[in-house]
Structure 1
């Protein structure tokens, strides 16, 4: 399109200067971010023919103006990328930015990045080039040990001179850099010129699924893994044993497995997909409570009170067979699930939910005295059970252990292992304590605040479905109980947070309804775990619009 023309008249000759820019351009950046500066100009030209039709080239040569210089395109400073979670630092620059074209490739500097490279290439419909030198239009993924001080999940993303470089000290950081790039170019958009320097504030960023009360298909769980990966979550918790069901196939105790369950082949497929997204799967067999499905096949191990009434879901920890069956299962699934993480459970043991545990369950009181001496009580026995189960999984190289906060008993003289993290979910249970009770004792805490991060199907008791807006506006990792944050001095002990889906009334929502219901809460949660500022960069309205655009 002709946008500008100048006419110069001089001594009988006519000189015309014409400048051309691509459609929609004015010589500056107007949003036409094709990734290439394709502005072109016409050359000035004077007539070589005089009024009488004669050759006038000799005379005009000395009088014609010099060709006009090509106008240099001036780009405004780039804008900060809009992603979920938001990047924490962006250094703007002037330039066209980047978007994939048919000749673009993803190349890597080390074969260990092949998985990240192939994934990104497939997502952006690019060619995977392997370990070759980058050229114009390419994306290069590289490991940079020099960035190690910023943490293994940190990365830099540089858009410059028509190419992209993602560099990080470890594969996880490279992967997160590719997630930022994927979001930037979503829907045909252009990645901003400049440098992103990014890293998470919290090391543990998770979603927990109660697949015990409600059977979720392997395909549905895999979809959540992909969603979590794109959002830079790094944990998926699977609570697969409870009163209502035991949902993963077992070789050691097949009698405890529910009809609807995941096969081990399906679990391995989930684990492989999670590993490709740098997500650790955290298994949980809750005990000594919430073992109803196991006890249905082993009623002789059910805890009974002095009147012979069975305590729902509770195993009798004074019985030697109780430890054996639980340890059998822990050992079996420790061999199935890789990694260092394990959730021990430990909550809501009904023997400690009565006013006088020793009178109600004298066999437990006797076992406590026999094991720990005079003065020991039922809470000591329960704490010893937790420590023994921790020892079982430690033997399988599990070093990142956690248990529910109400499994840490105030009155017990036996203390839980110092390495067991507190999964803080509630202050409402009998004997529950404020978060500062654990923090002041030096314990590490993971935030599961049930008033913000619990999505309980059917909304029983006082639960209501959490909203993304409330999490986005009110919650931070330091808000462990209620809506009041603990002192910033404890921030280093708060390892992260987990959004939990509990299926108390399993039939109240379908799988698809659960996925839709947790969509915005997940995005709000990871925003606050990545960057815990009370006021995020975007308003809630803009954040919702961004989530819609990114899909």
Structure 2
């Protein structure tokens, strides 16, 4: 801290003071008292105003008294006058001024930051996390304990806040995931209209302290651009442990991602224990207790888990103990993973599974799959699969085709899920153009590719009023072994090129469809499960996941270069 320095003029005034009368000396002492108080008040006013860019309170230059201001020692040589001066004139108070603060350096970057002057906030020995009074904030205990643990400070619960504390409160109106973080008077106050927003405010605080040691002075007002942000994991073809999945949840939470997709059934495996059909479960699988553990952690981190039992394709593990359900073509060949949708027994087993797992996964979203059904991946489905063509005509009339039967199948599965009140999704190649039977209008679309047979562009779905989630395989597909011209996605391409509007290839759809584009997710697929270990996968997705988080939260063009973004990811602990 800077000290007041005596000027040569002040020194001369001390010498001259020794020869003046006691009366004039007293007057001069009173002047020194007034001047000293004035300087102290000015210093306090400036010191309470703001912060440096890092929130560390870096000084922009301490003020000193002018050369004409009387020195504290400029008093009469008379002992009585010296005693009066010493008792009446306090020592000058040092002062600091602060540069205007900058926004906290976090991923994703905050939407707005109102700069201020002041030292910012640093966790100290007496700091603690407290919950604001009132019923609305009473449910923030989990959020409070977590951030207290992460910052290594105490958690005190619903008590009065004091200097150095972090205060959490549910208050105000606005988007459920919005929050405001105010740093003022050595205190952080994080508020939001919902618990999720308050939680995201604590993520900003955690990252800022990790990157710079402090949270800068001022006010952050932040909210996500897209409602759905996350990671989709294929645990069917490659098994991942509970610990691995939980570690991804924690990484996602720090990046303010709110959705984990679990694709747990495919040709290579069925990875969650079943009571209705235990015969289909792979030897390496998650118990329902382990899944509940994952779900409980996800709930505490404000992450929705979206399950997927893909059908009527990708069902190899389900069909294996039930070979009579296997679809066969006109030559008797059996396309892998395709269930025969003309059989009522096929519908029965899938509906059993849907109902069973709807009781386990109680989140608001469910993925029905519906992609890559082999019967529709040939040039002439009617000729190749005559039994399906016959079933289509029988159910939907003489002009019905195999695609109508397939759409009817998906609509039937949606009807099974209706009592559970889920928002249902399918992959984009599960909704077809033309035909007699139209897909349920409430089905949302996960748009992943334009490579499939009869590919439809995103605008087809958007113009029809469908809501889309971005899974663009050009940028967002992490496919183990890199088959079929896939390459591992790079964070740089996502960061510099992709936005939620880039749904297919590299071209963005018009901004007028913004309300129909719900968000975007990075997807891990296990086509060649042994190509990487689960730890290699975790390392490989870190920077792509950081980039996705940035682009779905803040629509502004990133201010950091890719190199700067990578450096920041390391500093905040997400890269």
State the TM-score, normalized to the length of structure 1.
0.92
Q: Give 3-state SS (helix, strand or coil) of 2:164's partner.
A: coil
Match of 2:110 in 1: 87
Residue equivalent to 1:97: 120
Per the alignment, do residues 490 and 12 of structure 1 end up closer, same or farther by CA in structure 2, a change over 3 Å counting?
closer
Identify the residue that residue 412 of structure 1 maps to in structure 2.
435
8 Å contact kept, 2:54–2:214: no
3-state secondary structure, aligned to 1:157: strand
Give the 3-state SS of the residue equivalent to 1:200 in structure 2.
coil
Query: 2 CA distance for matches of 1:504 and 1:227?
Result: 24
The 3-state SS of whatever aligns with 2:549 is helix
Query: Which residue is 1:294 aligned to?
Result: 318
User: What SS is found at the alignment partner of 1:518?
Assistant: helix
Superposed, which structure 2 residues align to 1:470-549 within 5 Å?
A: 470-533=493-556, 535-549=557-571
Q: Among 389, 392, 405, which residue is 2:413 paired with?
A: 389
Residue 364 of structure 2: aligned partner: 340
How far apart in 2 are the matches of 1:32 and 1:238?
A: 39
Question: For the residues of structure 2 that align with 1:439 and 1:127, how far apart are their CA atoms?
Answer: 50
Change (3 A) 1:205 1:416: same
The answer on 1:147 being equivalent to 2:152 is no
Aligned residue in 2 for 1:159: 183
The more displaced of 272-281 and 411-420 is 411-420
* CA distance in 1 between partners of 2:182 and 2:3 (Å): 34
Q: Specify every segment of 5 or more residues in structure 2 that has no aligned partner in the other structure, as ranges.
A: 20-28
- CA shift, 1:116, in A, is 0.8
Q: Shift in Å at residue 104 of structure 1?
A: 1.1
Higher helix share: 2
- In 2, Cα distance between equivalents of 1:32 and 1:532: 24
Q: Assess if the C-alpha contact under 8 Å between 1:153 and 1:199 holds in 2.
A: yes
Which residue is equivalent to 1:53? Answer: none
1:219 Cα offset (Å): 0.4
Q: What is the CA deviation profile of residues 321-365 of structure 1, one whole-angstrom value per residue up to 9, with x for unaligned ones?
A: 000000111111110011110001001100011111111111111
How do 1:171-210 residues align onto structure 2 when only pairs under 5 Å count? 171-186=195-210, 189-210=213-234
Residues 413/35 of structure 1: CA separation in 2 closer, same or farther (3 Å cut): same
Find the counterpart in structure 2 of residue 229 from structure 1. 253
1:354-377 Cα distance to aligned partner (Å, 9 max, x none):
111111111111111111112111
Change (3 A) 1:300 1:13: farther
Q: Number of matched residues?
A: 536
CA distance in 1, matches of 2:510, 2:181: 34
| Distance verdict in 2 for CA 1:33–1:206, change over 3 Å | closer
Alignment pair present for 1:122 and 2:149:
yes
| CA-atom RMSD in angstroms | 2.8
Once the 2 structures are TM-superposed, how far is the Cα of residue 34 of structure 1 from its aligned partner? Answer: 5.8
After superposition, what is the alpha-carbon deviation per residue over 1:141-196, rounded to whole angstroms, capped at 9, x for unaligned? 1111x322xx1000100001111111101111111011011111115611011100
Contact 1:403 1:421 in 2 (8 A): yes
Q: C-alpha deviations, 1:400-452, integer Å up to 9, x for none?
A: 21100011111322111111111100011001100000001111001000000
Q: For the Cα contact (< 8 Å) 1:13–1:46, is it kept in 2?
A: no
Matches within 5 A, 1:356-371: 356-371=380-395
Offset of residue 45 of structure 1: 4.5
8 Å Cα contact 2:50/2:118 also seen in 1: no
Judged with a 3 Å threshold, the aligned counterparts in structure 2 of structure 1 residues 90 and 252 are, in CA distance, closer, same or farther, namely same
Give the 3 Å change call, closer, same or farther, for CA 59–232 of structure 1 in structure 2.
Answer: closer
**How is 1:387-466 mapped onto 2 (pairs within 5 angstroms)?**
387-398=411-422, 400-466=423-489
Kindly tell me: are residues 366 and 230 of structure 1, through their superposed partners in 2, closer, same or farther at Cα, counting changes over 3 Å? same
User: What's the CA shift for 1:212?
Assistant: 0.4
Inter-partner Cα distance in structure 1 for 2:188 and 2:81:
52
Secondary structure at the counterpart of residue 248 of structure 1? coil
1:197-238 CA distance string (max 9 Å, x none): 000010000100000000000000000000001100000000
What is aligned with 1:10? Answer: 15
Distance 1:544 1:2, change over 3 A: closer
Please give the per-residue CA displacement for 1:80-134, whole angstroms capped at 9, x wherever unaligned: 1111000000001111110111111111122211111111111111211111221
Equivalent position SS for 1:237: strand
CA displacement at 1:5 relative to structure 2: 2.5
CA distance in 2, matches of 1:71, 1:231: 41
Q: Can you give the 5+ residue segments of structure 1 that lack an aligned partner in the other structure?
A: 51-55
User: Where does residue 373 of structure 2 map in the other structure?
Assistant: 349
Tell me the SS of whatever aligns to 1:185.
Answer: helix
For each residue in 1:20-55, what CA deviation from the matched residue of structure 2 results, as whole angstroms up to 9, or x when unmatched? Answer: 99xxx9x99778966799x999996538896xxxxx
The farther-off stretch of 184-193 and 222-231 is 184-193
CA-to-partner distance for each residue in 1:473-526, whole Å, 9 max, x for gaps? Answer: 000000000101001111111000111000101000001100000000000001
Secondary structure, aligned partner of 1:549 = helix
Distance of 2:205 and 2:506 partners within structure 1: 35
Cα–Cα, structure 1 residues 284 and 2, in superposed 2: closer, same or farther, change >3 Å? closer
Tell me if structure 2 keeps the 8 A contact 1:44–1:66.
no
In 2, are the aligned partners of 1:111 and 1:130 still within 8 Å (CA)? no
1:522/1:509 Cα in 2 relative to 1: closer, same or farther (>3 Å)? same
* SS state at 2:444 partner: strand
Match of 1:307 among 309, 331, 348: 331
More strand by share: 1
Separation in structure 2 between the aligned mates of residue 269 and residue 317 of structure 1, nearest angstrom = 35
Residues 494 and 30 of structure 1, relative CA distance in 2, 3 Å threshold: closer
Q: Mean Cα displacement is larger for which, 452-461 or 5-14?
A: 5-14
Q: Secondary structure at the match of 1:205?
A: strand
CA distance in 2, matches of 1:2, 1:480: 57
Give the drift of 1:70: 2.4
- Rounded to whole Å, the distance in 2 between the matches of 1:35 and 1:208 is 42
The DSSP-based 3-state class of the residue aligned with 2:487 is: coil
Following superposition, the deviation at residue 458 of structure 1 comes to 0.7
Match of 1:238 in 2: 262
| TM-score (norm: length of structure 2) | 0.88
CA contact (8 A) 1:457 1:505 kept: yes
- 1:41–1:70 CA contact under 8 A, matched in 2: no
